[in-house]
Amino acid sequence: MHSMYRIAALVAALSVSMTGQADQTNNGKSAPAFGNGPVKIEQVAFFPDQQSTGVAISRTGRLFVSLPRLSLDNPISLGEVIDGKIRPYPDLAWNAYRSSNGDRNKPAEQFVTAQAIVTDHQDNLWVLDPATPKRSGPIKGAVKLVKIDLARNKVVKVFYFDDKAVPEGASLNDVRFSPDDHFAYLSDVANPGHAGAIVVMDLRTGKAWRALDGDPSTQTSPDLYLMGDGKKLLGPDGKGLQLNVDGIEISPDGSTFYWQALTGDTVYSVPTADLDDPARALKAKATPVAKTHPADGLWIDRAGRFFVSNPSEDSVEVADHVGAPLKLLVKDKRMRWPDSFAQGADGALYVSASFIGDSPWFHPEAKTTPSAVFRITAGQ
């Protein structure tokens, strides 16, 4: 990342610290609200032969990406972007997994398929590893949520999911945290042929449970298709990509949880209080709250504005709040398949572009899949 972004982030982080905003519990986010002025988009990183999906930005401007080995056995699954290059993070040992290594792997101690990456309001980096190489598995005993202390560049805690919370065919995809860091809420997009669900983990006990497992709200809509360059994205078998619950988010006050199937057009909600107790979670009821389109990433800033990625249009849309009409924020043909969101200490929005529509899933002749990270700002 360019040094000017790092300097801007450092200044913003200092300002946040002086004003005390970083100590406020606001859905785990310390970044200020996105701006209201003219919108500008810039590409801050491009990886011509490495497919990244997740993105995270620290308060001091350190940029991280995840590479979940969707189609290739990448040598890096979690990396920090330094001078435009992806460096293994936090070290080589955590990135040593290779499918080709077979029994020599130690998947419980390695990133198998680092997926979602999120910085919390204490500036720790959390890494979700569903342990599903090439959309198989998951590997038993390897599905985990990893907490990294960015100040020390060290893994300080690993939470493992048991087979009951993450059964055969599950594939955890994204994660959000309660404002008090008590609970983690995750989407289970599931591998092909399996049902989607919400998964909750109590970070004080390490226990996890499922909610809305197989509920219509967490499942794909078979009549919807992802688009690419105005055409339906179809695989070699002539079928479209059908993915269950993917994008998730929490309201600014932490009281409401939101989600949407990637191949879906409806955002649903449930009170977080109904998810935080295993017994109540079994009876949780989904409420439809917004109409959208097939979308990958969801984001809510401190002001409650709702950002939605639109992979079919290479665009990001925004609403004044969840349920309000979506409006185009930015469209850029370089931003192929906007995927995940993060937000810097200066309020800038970061978006990963994972180029899934250009991958071997839809173009078997493709040998590699590129990816990129974009920075979106709105001046005053």
**Residue 120 neighbours by CB distance under 10 Å:** 16
Q: Quick one: pLDDT at residue 21? A: 38
In this structure, what are the phi and psi dihedrals at residue 272, rounded to the nearest 5 degrees? -60, -25
Residue 364, preceding peptide bond in cis (omega within 30° of 0): no
Q: Topology of domain 3-378, per CATH? A: Neuraminidase (2.120.10)
Q: For residue 233, what are the contacts with CB-CB under 8 A and spacing of at least 6?
A: 225, 226, 227, 240, 241, 357, 362
**Helix (H), strand (E), coil (C) string for the chain:** CCHHHHHHHHHHHHHHHHHCHHHCCCCCCCCCCCCCCCEEEEEEEEECCCCCCEEEECCCCCEEEECCCCCCCCCCCEEEEECCEEEECCCCHHHCCCHHHHHHCCHHHCCCCCCCEEECCCCEEEEEECCCHHHCCCCCCCCEEEEEECCCCEEEEEEECCCCCCCCCCCEEEEEECCCCCEEEEEECCCCCCCCEEEEEECCCCCEEEECCCCHHHCCCCCCCCEECCEECECCCCCECCCCEEEEEECCCCCEEEEEECCCCEEEEEEHHHHCCHHHHHCCCCEEEEECCCCCCEEECCCCCEEEEEHHHCEEEEECCCCCCCEEEEECCCCCCEEEEEECCCCCEEEEECCHHHCCCCCCCCCCCCEEEEEEEECC
User: Residue written as tokens 């360019």?
Assistant: 2
Is 5 in contact with 42 (CB distance < 8 Å)?
no
Q: Quick one: pLDDT at residue 3? A: 47
Q: Quick one: pLDDT at residue 26? A: 43
Is 113 in contact with 129 (CB distance < 8 Å)?
yes
CA distances to 28, 80, 91, 177, 316 from 298, in Å: 15, 23, 30, 14, 10
Q: Quick one: pLDDT at residue 67? A: 94
Q: Quick one: pLDDT at residue 7? A: 46
Q: Quick one: pLDDT at residue 29? A: 61
Q: Quick one: pLDDT at residue 299? A: 98
What are the residue ranges in the chain where pLDDT is below 50? 1-5, 7-27
Q: Quick one: pLDDT at residue 30? A: 67
> What pairs with residue 42 in β-bridges?
375
Q: Quick one: pLDDT at residue 184? A: 96
Domain chopping of the chain, boundaries? 3-378
Of 323, 317, 325, 322, the C-alpha closest to 300 is 322
